[in-house]
Amino acid sequence: MHDKDTALAELASTQHGVFTIADARSVKMTDTQIKLRVEQVWSHLHEGVYRISGAPVTWRGDLLAATMAGGARSAISHRAGGATYELPGGRRDLVELSCLRWKRTVKPGLVVHESRRLDERDITTVDGIPVTTPERTILDLASCFPYENYLEYVVQAARRKRLITYESMRATFDRHARRGLKGVRALRITLDRWDPESRPTESEMETLLLQTLRQHGLPEPALQYEVRDPDGYLLGRVDAAYPYARTAIEYDSRQEHSDEFQRAKDARRISAIQARGDWKVLIARHADLRSGGADLCADIQSILRRKPA
């Protein structure tokens, strides 16, 4: 292999196997050498963007290639951006990006959003690929799926991963949100519900539990609440609680925890809390929540009516 080919292959190996004509020129390839390889060797991806011969075809390589074709201030966004952060609604079967201007052919599986409201503050790098920040990605996901419950799943997942803070999410929303923009109303409601002092839920099913309680008109519980005995000894942490009513709610995690040791540990924790005598632990089962949680919420309402807030 020619030394220039070796140098280009080494460069492409740091870029998920893809490169631009400018990269080829940076290793001193002549126009004649480039023309020959374009015709016989390299895999064409976009105008001026190629995959090195023998490099595996990967989703991340396709993402980076699209941003190379998009030019300055282009970034993977929306559903593909969500997938890079492993957020609900993310899709790895799409190459989706935002850029100032796209002048090239759009291929199957490629979704391009031209946006003048994309600046450097909205772009970061994930695994060497320009991607919209988690905050901007959530805003863009809201335009794809403008539903409050879905967006709460996304926000809670991003919080669990420590991708966003209340302040960072609010700042991005305030900077970009405007009347008539799809998803703004639903995301505003989601952010208004976010108590900056609260802990995030620990799973999507715990988020569903929170939504179910809210839909039945119940007050917001304390999440990830630590139950202690009168001496301050920690008996256990529960998914949600109404401390003034001495009522804890635990999501039945058997579907997530196939490990018998973990299930036994959960059972011991619940037993320790109930053994204290003045705490009641209610179990929220997967099937009950999926069907609306009417029985669980009726039990909670009955308990709360007997306890002054």
- Mark whether 158 and 195 lie in a shared domain: yes
Among 308, 301, 270, residue whose Cα is nearest residue 293: 301
pLDDT at 260: 59
pLDDT at 18: 97
- Mark whether 45 and 173 lie in a shared domain: no
User: What's 168-230 look like in SS3?
Assistant: HHHHHHHHHCCCCCCCHHHHHHHHHHCCCCCCCCCCHHHHHHHHHHHHCCCCCCEEEEEEECC
Q: Within its chain, how far is the Cα of 152 from the centroid?
A: 11
- Mark whether 102 and 227 lie in a shared domain: no
pLDDT at 256: 53
Please tell me the total count of domains within the chain: 3
Q: Within its chain, how far is the Cα of 52 from the centroid?
A: 31
Which residue reads 């190459």 in tokens? 95
CATH of the domain at 267: 3.40.960.10
Indicate the burial class of 257 (C-beta count within 10 angstroms; 0-12, 13-18, 19 or more).
Answer: middle
- Mark whether 97 and 215 lie in a shared domain: no
pLDDT at 231: 77
- What is the pLDDT tens value at each position of the chain, 309 positions in all? 579 999 999 999 999 999 999 999 999 999 999 999 999 999 999 999 999 999 999 999 999 999 999 988 999 999 999 999 999 999 999 999 999 888 777 788 899 999 888 889 999 999 999 999 999 999 999 999 999 999 999 999 999 999 999 999 999 999 998 877 899 999 999 999 999 988 898 888 889 999 999 999 999 898 888 888 777 788 778 889 999 998 989 887 665 545 555 555 666 667 667 666 678 888 888 888 888 999 999 999 998 887 655
pLDDT at 281: 85
| Domain assignment of residue 64, given as a range | 58-200
Among 42, 52, 43, 68, residue whose Cα is nearest residue 13: 52
- Mark whether 134 and 257 lie in a shared domain: no
DSSP for residue 18? E
pLDDT at 1: 56
pLDDT at 272: 67
- Mark whether 93 and 165 lie in a shared domain: yes
- Mark whether 7 and 82 lie in a shared domain: no
- Mark whether 41 and 101 lie in a shared domain: no
Of 160, 179, 200, which one is at a domain's C-terminal end? 200
Question: What is this structure's pTM?
Answer: 0.84
- Mark whether 19 and 125 lie in a shared domain: no
- Mark whether 167 and 230 lie in a shared domain: no
- Mark whether 190 and 222 lie in a shared domain: no
CB contact at 8 A, 108 and 141:
no
CA distance 143 to 266: 39
CA distance 43 to 20: 11
Of 165, 200, 235, which one is at a domain's C-terminal end? 200
- Mark whether 62 and 194 lie in a shared domain: yes
pLDDT at 133: 98
